Structure 1
Amino acid sequence: MKEIFGTAGAAGAAGTPGTSGKPGGLPGVTPPAPAALAAKVRTLAPSMTRSMQRVAEAVAADPAGCAALTVTGLAELTGTSEATVVRTSRLLGYPGYRDLRLALAGLAAQQQSGRSPAVTADIAVDDPIADVVAKLAYDEQQTLADTAAGLDMAQLSAAVSALAAARRIDIYGVGASGLVAQDLTQKLLRIGLIAHAHSDPHLAVTNAVQLRAKDVAVAITHSGSTGDVIEPLRVAFERGATTVAITGRPDGPVSQYADHILTTSTARESELRPAAMSSRTSQLLVVDCLFIGVAQRTYETAAPALSASYEALAHRHTPRNSGTTSRR
């Protein structure tokens, strides 16, 4: 690949595929690699039942100790049932508890080798600015690593293919996710694709009504339950467009109308760092992965379009000579 696009890399295994009944979903899920386990726990724990949260928190806090326990032992440790342990294992992406134990053993080995650093403390009101920078830098790095490890490569590849072949692309997001939607839109426009970002829910729905089978709709919502984003995605889904969800809650309502789900991770939320800040980091990584993938697939047309946009912007910032310039 030529330097104009740089390079893009992603690690890891699977997230959660689309659960909709619409044709085109990808069957089969690869269990997350050990490095992705902690990320899955952080992402999914808020949406679990309290009993499942106890199991998830236990395996995240002491992977080595839990890896040595049978399903009965972990159930007793967390005050839950064997069925809850198995359900938690499956929600985290493993076929059963045996597979989760293997991942826990791998995660414990990584931590012992120093490749999985301890989580830093939350930012405090009286932290020196140097500590704030260090803590934010660590959290940002962890968020990016968790997102890369948890991305389902099959889902990402399918989303890239759909975008590359799309007649038209509509992107929905509100608040901080709306800023990410605008970022993806301007990237796609610069390689010659027809893309629109919609933060107004009414305009989003009225545009979604016009979508058809060769179009793509992308919904960006960290919570997976933002009604103003889900509604236009539902309309696009029912009109036959290919739908993509970028979300931190792959089990949320948005998944009902998504052909392809790209799961994002989030750094720990704190009083001084709301979810909107930390979720944007992982969303932007997914957006960049989509953009590079589409640019690679459409290189013959994308490269000239990108060069033309660079040239146009360069001319805009270059002082013009006085006098009238005639058109060619």
Structure 2
Amino acid sequence: MTILEEIQQKFPSFSDKEKKIATYLLKNSDTLTNINISTLAKETNTSPATITRFAKKLNQNGFVDLKIQLSAVPAVHIENDMAINSDVYNFYTKVIEQTEQMVKQEDLENVVQTIKKAPRIFIFGVGSSGLTALEFTQRLMRMGLNVVSTTDSHMMLITSSMAVSGDLVIGISASGETTDVNEAILCSKQNGAHIVSITSFPESTLSKLSDTSLLVYNSAFIGRERFINSQFAIMYQIDVISTMLLEDNQLNDRMNQTIKVITRNSLNEELKRNEKS
């Protein structure tokens, strides 16, 4: 585990001032070679003493040792003549590479097997994570799986009370601290449902409630605010899961059948419109 991965892992346990330091280091990890503790304190509106305490929380003797660990992390440099394209490319490349380093292959495989065996699947998410939950639900439905997504906080609690032993409940939250999602997940867990989460922090409430937690890199730490897609890492993980599921011949056949039905229906609708015109 690199020092950057450790910072992200411990992020929820940091104080507010320590989170400022952590966020700055994660956003600017490629340009910290010549920074000193006074400059970092000024940039983060903290103090050298706070930075030293922060370093010790990461099992470093002080800021110098912390900076040595940061400089040992390889930077990602992509050459591109088109500045904007390069910026976006670098952003998505870093998100994918960092996510790949965080996730465990055996966790992915376990989640895929659990999805295939579950008699019912419930997916919870709100806000942008709710949109991701809807996308994931549509994919699983097209494979013939019994799945429903809930993005309304009130309905989420109602749905969670219906989950029973054997059911699979998937909670999606980048922070892992979305209250509505966590309350619904807790209710489902108390009913005996199997819990899977997709989140950025292994020490978050959501992750701790889960039987399996798939970790993704939090794109907010890259520092490209003008185009940050907070769901990109989660969608990447969902792409991986979907692809793994489609290796199953039965699920693949169901997906192809669904595509045929949708295509045929679209064609019929187009023919009807042409006849009317």
Name the structure, 1 or 2, with higher relative contact order (CA <8 Å, separation 6+).
Answer: 1
The one of 211, 232, 241 aligned to 1:281: 232
Unaligned residue ranges in structure 1 (runs of 5+)? 1-31, 66-77, 90-95, 119-129, 323-328
Alignment partners' CA distance in 2, 1:157 and 1:308: 25
Aligned partners of 1:248 and 1:264 also within 8 Å: yes
**Offset of residue 131 of structure 1:** 3.9
How does the TM-score come out when normalised to structure 1?
A: 0.64
Alignment partners' CA distance in 2, 1:55 and 1:201: 31
- Post-superposition Cα deviations, 1:96-151, rounded to whole Å, max 9, x if no partner, equal 99xxx8xx77973745xxxx339xxxxxxxxxxx6444322221221111111111
Aligned partners of 2:91 and 2:224 also within 8 Å: no
Residue identity over aligned pairs, in percent, reads 19
| 2:58 alignment counterpart | 88
Alignment partners' CA distance in 2, 1:61 and 1:237: 41
Alignment partners' CA distance in 1, 2:25 and 2:182: 33
The one of 143, 147, 150 aligned to 1:191: 143
- Post-superposition Cα deviations, 1:236-265, rounded to whole Å, max 9, x if no partner, equal 111111101111222122123211111111
- Post-superposition Cα deviations, 1:136-172, rounded to whole Å, max 9, x if no partner, equal 2221221111111111223222222211110100001
- Post-superposition Cα deviations, 1:38-84, rounded to whole Å, max 9, x if no partner, equal 3553565475234587589779568999xxxxxxxxxxxx6479986
**Offset of residue 270 of structure 1:** 5.3
Alignment partners' CA distance in 1, 2:58 and 2:8: 13
Secondary structure of the equivalent of 2:172? strand
Secondary structure of the equivalent of 1:146? helix
Sort the Cα spacing of 1:176 and 1:84 in 2 relative to 1 into closer, same or farther, 3 A. closer
1:117 pairs with 2:68: no
1:203 pairs with 2:173: no
Aligned partners of 2:202 and 2:208 also within 8 Å: no
Alignment partners' CA distance in 2, 1:226 and 1:264: 16
Sort the Cα spacing of 1:212 and 1:285 in 2 relative to 1 into closer, same or farther, 3 A. same
| 1:108 alignment counterpart | 72
Secondary structure of the equivalent of 2:181? helix
1:253 pairs with 2:223: no
| 2:107 alignment counterpart | 155
Sort the Cα spacing of 1:272 and 1:58 in 2 relative to 1 into closer, same or farther, 3 A. closer
Secondary structure of the equivalent of 1:224? coil
**Offset of residue 177 of structure 1:** 0.6
Alignment partners' CA distance in 1, 2:52 and 2:85: 43
Secondary structure of the equivalent of 2:230? helix
**Offset of residue 227 of structure 1:** 1.0
The one of 160, 167, 171 aligned to 2:123: 171
Unaligned residue ranges in structure 2 (runs of 5+)? 35-47, 273-277
Mapping 1:1-328, distance limit 5 Å: 32=1, 34=2, 37-41=3-7, 44-45=10-11, 48-49=14-15, 50=17, 60=29, 79=49, 85=55, 87-89=57-59, 108=72, 110-111=74-75, 116-117=76-77, 131-267=83-219, 268-269=222-223, 272-273=226-227, 277-296=228-247, 299-319=248-268
Aligned partners of 1:264 and 1:279 also within 8 Å: no
Sort the Cα spacing of 1:107 and 1:312 in 2 relative to 1 into closer, same or farther, 3 A. farther
Sort the Cα spacing of 1:55 and 1:194 in 2 relative to 1 into closer, same or farther, 3 A. closer
- Post-superposition Cα deviations, 1:14-59, rounded to whole Å, max 9, x if no partner, equal xxxxxxxxxxxxxxxxxx3x4xx53553565475234587589779
Aligned partners of 1:56 and 1:88 also within 8 Å: no
Aligned partners of 1:265 and 1:279 also within 8 Å: no
Alignment partners' CA distance in 2, 1:146 and 1:194: 32
Alignment partners' CA distance in 2, 1:294 and 1:109: 34
Alignment partners' CA distance in 1, 2:73 and 2:203: 29
Alignment partners' CA distance in 2, 1:245 and 1:167: 18
**Offset of residue 278 of structure 1:** 2.5
Alignment partners' CA distance in 1, 2:256 and 2:93: 31
